[in-house]
Structure 1
Amino acid sequence: MMSDTLLLFLNLAGIGFFAISGTLLGERKSVNGFGITVLATLTATGGGTIRDLLLNKPVFWIEDSIYLLTNFVAIMVSILFIRRFPSPDNRYFLIVDAAGLALFNIIGIFKATQADADLVVALTMGVITSVFGGILRDVICREVPVTLKNQLYATTCIAGGLTYVVTTNLGWNTYICVGMAFSTTFVMRMSAIYEGWRLQIFSQKSNG
């Protein structure tokens, strides 16, 4: 069973990483200060909000304002970083996005199992928690959401989620379960980016 302290840490870390990713994308798109705040906040809270509504639970950032405060602090730190190092390398965005993805996946699965959801629903909630904030971010920035491309994205959440469920059911230490699930999602996502891993369902159409 995951402790309240560990759950809070994972939530705050996920909020921070996704808020940073929203801020970095906003800078790349030359969005103003208010726009960056909207982008970062949607990225950090969008998936968890949808999850809580679907599970008929209190929305996490309304129930406890520490999540919004963490979001705003992460935005300010990111802005200061960008002002110190203008036009940061895109790899920073990719790394923090992958880290947020891996953390929120675990949280979504845990909260679903707490609500007595079955395995399929729990894995789905993990994916929703992880990807929907990023979808909102990308749509507002007129980007095709990564999860709709043939890159491995949501699939990495499923792999990490299965890792978490299996290791938990085996009775392994909670920290090991979380660490393995996080590593599975994060490593698969970074490998998809740098090694070109793809999930090709349909063959490429020729232009002839």
Structure 2
Amino acid sequence: LMAGRYQLDPFGVVVLAAVTAIGGGTIRDVILDTPVFWVASPIYLYVILLTAILTILFIRRPTRIPKRFLLISDAFGLALFAVLGTEKALSLGSSITVAIVMGMITGVAGGMIRDVLCNVIPLILRQEIYALAAMLGGILFIGLQTIGFTENVSLIVAIVGALALRLAAIYWQVSLPAFNIADQQQAGSKND
């Protein structure tokens, strides 16, 4: 959809869809020195290609799609992939801290790459409660596993927790405070 907003050609749509969908997991797998998931199972590439083609065919005017819809859709992906990334890192023997970071990278890095390619400040670098939601998902998953919940229950509760935080931030427009040096400089000049 972002490719449509920037009037990219069909190849650009596929490239943007691919980096968004598999960018974070690719970075995670390279860092963890494990086979990259889509290289081991190319079905991911076929799904991305099919989805991109269907998007081109059925959605002619991406500017008509409300921004809030895109944020909500993205929130589902963020929650799911952050928790699954944490689970994969743990299954490969990573420490708790590394697993949480790997989950966050899995959830946010693809979108960051997409935004950089489109010359947009990545969502994670703005005031949005985004990476925090990804981290919450990882922390919930690990916490529930530690106290004895089954893996499936831990996955579901962690995904719902991360999703709930992100959706609440979208709904109530809650964000982290921005670092604004201009305000600091103005306050300093008033005191002079």
Tell me whether the two structures share a fold, i.e. TM-score over 0.5: yes
Whether 1:44 aligns to 2:17 is: no
Q: Which runs of 5+ in 1 are unaligned?
A: 1-23
* Contact 1:25 1:93 (C-alpha < 8 Å) held by counterparts: no
* Contact 2:5 2:62 (C-alpha < 8 Å) held by counterparts: no
Q: Distance in 2 between matches of 1:185 and 1:76?
A: 30
* Contact 2:4 2:61 (C-alpha < 8 Å) held by counterparts: no
Q: Distance in 2 between matches of 1:140 and 1:203?
A: 25
TM-score by length of 1: 0.82
3-state DSSP of counterpart to 1:179: helix
What's the counterpart of residue 97 of structure 1? Answer: 74
Aligned length: 185
* Contact 1:43 1:136 (C-alpha < 8 Å) held by counterparts: yes
What's the counterpart of residue 166 of structure 1? Answer: 143
Report runs of 4+ in structure 1 exceeding 6 Å deviation.
none
Larger Rg belongs to = 2
Q: Which runs of 5+ in 2 are unaligned?
A: 187-192
What's the counterpart of residue 189 of structure 2? Answer: none
What's the counterpart of residue 176 of structure 2? Answer: 199
Whether 1:67 aligns to 2:56 is: no
Q: How does 1:3-18 map to 2 (within 5 A)?
A: none
* Contact 1:123 1:161 (C-alpha < 8 Å) held by counterparts: yes
Q: How does 1:99-138 map to 2 (within 5 A)?
A: 99-138=76-115
* Aligned-pair Cα RMSD in Å: 1.9
- Cα displacement (A) at 1:169: 1.8
- 1:98 aligned partner, one-letter code: A
